[in-house]
Amino acid sequence: MAAELNLILFGPPGAGKGTQAERLRGDFQLPFISTGEMLRANVRDQTELGLKAKEFMDAGDLVPDDLIVAMAGERLGQDDALDGFILDGFPRTVAQATALERKLASMGRRVTAALLIDVPDEEVIRRLSGRRVCVKAGHNYHVEFDPPKHDSVCDQDGSRLIQRDDDRPDVIANRLRVYHEKTKPLVDYYDSLGLMRRIDGTRDPADVHGHIRAVIATLRLEENV
C-alpha cells in the first residue's frame, strides 16, 4: 500500500499553485485544503471552533494559531484526508508549522514534503500585470499570453477591458514583498528538516506538473527503501 502523501504547497501569487493543486487532486485523490476553506466551513457549520473564530473575525482580529491548528487537526482527520492532503495557506508562520508538526505527530502522521513552486518576482509581475478583464461580464485576457483580437475590447461582448487595481505592478510588488517576508522563514524551516522541494514554476504548466509528479515518485521510492 502506498504511503500517505501529506503535502504543503508554497508559491508566490501568480505561480500557478491553484492549477497544480487541481491536477494533483485529480492524480492522487487528495483533498486541497486552504485556511480560508477551513475557516469558512467551521463558521458556516457553526462548530464550536467556528463560533470561537467568528468572535475574533467579527472584532476584526486575526484568528489565533491554536484555533487554526485545532481546525486543521479536525479537517485532516476526516475520511477524505486519511490517505493524504495538500495544504495551501497554512502554515503561515514557523509557530504554526511547529504546532502542525505536533498535531500530526499526535495522529501518528507527518508532513511528506513542502513543495515550493518558485517563480522570480519579475515573472510574477509580468504574468499578473498583463491580465485584463472586461467590465461587462468579467471575461479574462492577458496582453501577452491570451490577447483580445482588438486592443482593450472584449472579443465576446465588445465591452471595455480594464486592468484591476490588484494587477497594477506597484500593488503586485508590495504583495510579493509581504509574501517573501512571511514565506522565507517557513522555507528555511522546512529546508532545515530536509522536507523542502523546489519546483521551477517558470516552465509550462504541464512541465511543472510533470516535475511535481517526478518529485512525488522519488519521495515514494524513498519511503519504501
Per-residue pLDDT tens for 22-57? 999 999 889 999 888 889 999 999 999 999 999 999
Q: Active-site positions?
A: 17, 92, 131, 164, 175
The C-alpha cell at 158 is 465588445
Which of 54-58, 110-114, 156-160, 220-224 is predicted with the least confidence, judged by mean pLDDT? 220-224
Which residues fall within 8 angstroms of residue 33, CB to CB, at 6 or more apart? 72, 75, 76, 81, 85, 86, 87, 88, 90
CA end-to-end span of the chain: 14
Cα-based angle 43, 46, 48 (whole degrees, multiple of 5): 100
Q: Are 91 and 190 in contact (CB under 8 A)?
A: no
- One of 3.40.50.300, 3.30.2350.10, 3.30.300.30, 3.90.1720.10 is the CATH number of 5-120+174-224, namely 3.40.50.300
Q: Cα separation of 126 and 169, whole Å?
A: 8
User: Domain spans of the chain?
Assistant: 5-120+174-224
pLDDT tens digits, 78-90: 999 999 999 988 8
Burial of residue 118 (CB within 10 Å: 0-12, 13-18, 19+) is middle
Tell me: pLDDT of 123 over 70: yes
Q: pLDDT-based confidence at 224, cuts 50/70/90?
A: low
- Name 41's Cβ contacts closer than 8 Å, sequence gap at least 6: 50, 75
Query: Is residue 185's pLDDT more than 90?
Result: yes
